[in-house]
Structure 1
Amino acid sequence: MTNAGLKQFLDKKVAQYEKPDFIEDDPICIPHRFSKKQDIEIAAFFAAILAWGNRKSIISSCNRLLAGMDNAPYDFVLNFEEQDLKPFMGFAHRTFNATDLFHFLDFLRYHYKTMGSSSLETAFSKYLKKNDLDTEPALVSFYNSFFDEDIFPDYPRRTRKHIATPFKKSACKRLNMFLRWMVRSNTKGVDFGIWKVVKSSQLVCPLDVHVARVAKHFNLLQRTGNDWLAAKELTQNLKLLDAKDPVKYDFALFGLGVVERF
């Protein structure tokens, strides 16, 4: 298939899957329950981090988590006290447990309340330059700030496995998915487009075994391991199809791989 033919085919698949019908059975349905920017960010961040395993179980875990926050995550992050954490003592999703959750909450409160940031975007964008080709510098620095011992001297070391970083060669699938949700335009009613500093052209395609399988079929990916370099290789090839918005093809590759079992 020529590049022109591949672009035409994948563009059709993007149109097929990037529409509100997609939301109901996907973790992105979690942030779509909210209208306040900060609520969307926090709900989306947790939905992406917990996006591990069966989609129904992911959504169920997110619903339990947010119910414990009275479905007001931003207000909870700003105002929670020690006794408010007791209902979460038994919370777990796969290997993510209450110990991890409490550090996540500490980081979010530090960012929004102590630092006075009005958006979670600055936790990434302050490390990104306009001429950076992708979000690698932001992801590496976000990891470092999330576990900054000067700020969080007693952070649980076990929690490091729940924030990926290119420095450790991870494909960073869940963080890349979160960034896609926040950055890409909301004109199709799926992603949110509430972040304006990070550009769509800088996003890296979320990469998992399903996306990789389809990408390799179309010669969009040659690298064997599903690591950071593979995610970058795939994204670079997708930029040949759409330089400004390469990650829109995540819808096509995911749909073909998971829904159509391509």
Structure 2
Amino acid sequence: MKEKQIKLNKTELKEFLDTKVIQYNNPNFIESDPIQIPHTFSKKEDIEISAFLTATIAWGNRKSIINNAKRLMQLMDNSPFDFVLNHEETDLDNLSSFVHRTFNGNDCIQFIKSLKHIYLKHHGLEPVFAKHADKDSLQVSISKFKSIFFEMEHLQRTEKHVSDPLKNSAAKRINMFLRWMVRNDNTGVDFGIWKSISPNQLSCPLDVHSGNVARKLGLLKRKQNDGKALIELDTNLRKLDKNDPVKYDFALFGLGVFEGF
């Protein structure tokens, strides 16, 4: 049976979603969300590496995402930046047992090597994304990041764990990671530690929950949750708030996951 679309005019829709943003964009959100993992760190590089690795495995059951991300941090001695930069080959052996769904120990080891390459050769994660950013989009940046992440010798199978928006992927997990790093929401959820990228360049992390809610509210017509759908959703969210369109991720996600909207 087809979901019935809810008809609201632009003003009503904005008021409704703004209320839901306030409801969910607050510290209580952290308790049940994978964003809690980077919140255990205070150093910029520890935050961004733990956030990137957590976002990478952020699909499936949220409890299992959080548990596996915690385990991964423990395998890195709870010092992700130091581990990435200074690991020995024998340290990497400890990661070989790690698995989250199709992301296995070999993928994990490859990610650590690629991250080391990013920090040593490209000055870190933030400069790579900032360097290739468009005025109002980071989708080219994400694609460029993927090619830099895998420019060293690597396992072919691991490439599937970094999405490419230029190949029509919604790149949900990287867009979520970028939201965490760039948005400064003054409520202590998103970090806002990347100053060279603006919140108006972000895209909504589009998944099954946010997609279904967006369709019901008339923000999205396209059936698939792909790159084209993301452009449509971004365009409509920017009409509601051009400076911080991705704050509505909290509303769409909260309505979908917590309210079964």
Equivalent-residue separation in structure 1 for 2:231 and 2:51 (angstroms): 23
Instruction: Structure 2: state its 5+ residue gaps.
Output: 1-7
Aligned to 2:95: 88
Aligned ranges 1:1-262 → 2 under 5 Å: 1-115=8-122, 117=123, 119-129=124-134, 132-148=135-151, 152-153=152-153, 155-262=154-261
Instruction: Structure 1: state its 5+ residue gaps.
Output: none
| 1:192-245 CA distance string (max 9 Å, x none) | 000011111110101011111110111100111110110111011011110000
Given that residues 118 and 149 in structure 2 are in contact (C-alpha distance below 8 angstroms), is that contact kept between their aligned partners in structure 1? no
Equivalent-residue separation in structure 2 for 1:168 and 1:236 (angstroms): 19
Q: What code does the residue aligned with 1:127 have? A: H
User: What SS is found at the alignment partner of 1:193?
Assistant: coil
Equivalent-residue separation in structure 2 for 1:136 and 1:112 (angstroms): 21
Given that residues 26 and 187 in structure 2 are in contact (C-alpha distance below 8 angstroms), is that contact kept between their aligned partners in structure 1? yes
Q: What code does the residue aligned with 2:196 have? A: V
Equivalent-residue separation in structure 2 for 1:6 and 1:161 (angstroms): 36
Q: What code does the residue aligned with 2:227 have? A: W
User: What SS is found at the alignment partner of 2:58?
Assistant: coil
Moved segments of 4+, more than 6 Å: none
Measure how far apart 1:113 and its partner are.
2.8
| 1:70-121 CA distance string (max 9 Å, x none) | 1000011110010111211111000001111111111111122344x2x421
- How many residues align? The count is 254
| 1:31-79 CA distance string (max 9 Å, x none) | 0000000000000001100101111100110111100111000011110
What is the TM-score with the length of structure 1 in the denominator? 0.95
The percentage of counterpart residues that share the same residue type is: 54
Equivalent-residue separation in structure 2 for 1:87 and 1:79 (angstroms): 15
